[in-house]
Amino acid sequence: MLIEAFPYGLHPNDLELVYNELKRGRVGIVPTDSVYAFCCLSDQKSGFESICTLKHIDPKDALMSIVCKDMSQASEYFIQWPTPVFRMLNKNLPGPFTFILQSGHRAPSFLKNKRKTLGLRIPQHPVIRSIMTKMDMPLIVSSVLNDDDIGSFFTDSDLLISRYEKNVGFIVIDEGCVQEPSTVVDLTGDEPVIIRQSIHELKH
């Protein structure tokens, strides 16, 4: 199923279609304020495993993130943040950043790695934000990589569609998708560590 995004997000009818597909446990592809991402509901282990299959990775080695609608929801899935961490999150979210944090007891067990860390995203893209208004739980997300160009992302929506249309429940197309990866910051230590620097500068 192909869905076209509007500047404000999704048409209510399309939003309902996306909601129903996700509730059925399907995987979709959505634009974010960085790159296109696979997504599924955070309680769907089968969806998580499908994303791993699409990305050719072992679920045991998968490093994924969850998208939360706001800081309040995020606080339920991570251990309590020290004040400096909370301030940094508040300064940079919503935005095109992925923060690596210690996962809490509500985080899905199948997402927990050996370090018990998990990525947090709160994008400001209208499509993701409109989807999150319908959901009562986070989304699992992982960037869609272009298999034909190792390490790169899809910049051509036609190529994205031809590659994945038959493998996912829906694809939301936004021709204005930035196509620059998020800046990744590890906040599990005493000081922030930038794992991947993108065009997006971290506010300290």
pLDDT one-digit tens code per residue, 45-56: 999 999 999 999
H-assigned helices in the chain: 12-23, 45-55, 71-74, 83-92, 126-134, 157-164
* Band of residue 151 on the pLDDT scale cut at 50, 70, 90: low
Question: Would 203 be classed as within a structural domain?
Answer: no
Alpha-carbon span 154 to 54, nearest angstrom: 15
Number of domains in the chain: 1
Residue 142: inside a domain, yes or no? yes
Tell me if 51 is assigned to some domain.
Answer: yes
> Would you say residue 104 lies in a domain?
yes
* Domain membership flag for residue 127: yes
204 within a domain of the structure (yes/no): no
Indicate whether 150 pLDDT > 60.
no
Residue 65 contacts residue 85 (beta carbons within 8 Å): no
Q: Which domain holds residue 137?
A: 2-196
In a domain, 6, yes or no: yes
Q: What is the mean pLDDT of the chain?
A: 93
At 169, which CATH number? 3.90.870.10
pLDDT at 7: 87
Asked if 32 contacts 141 with a C-beta cutoff of 8 angstroms, the reply is yes
The conformation of residue 110, written as its DSSP 8-state character, comes to G
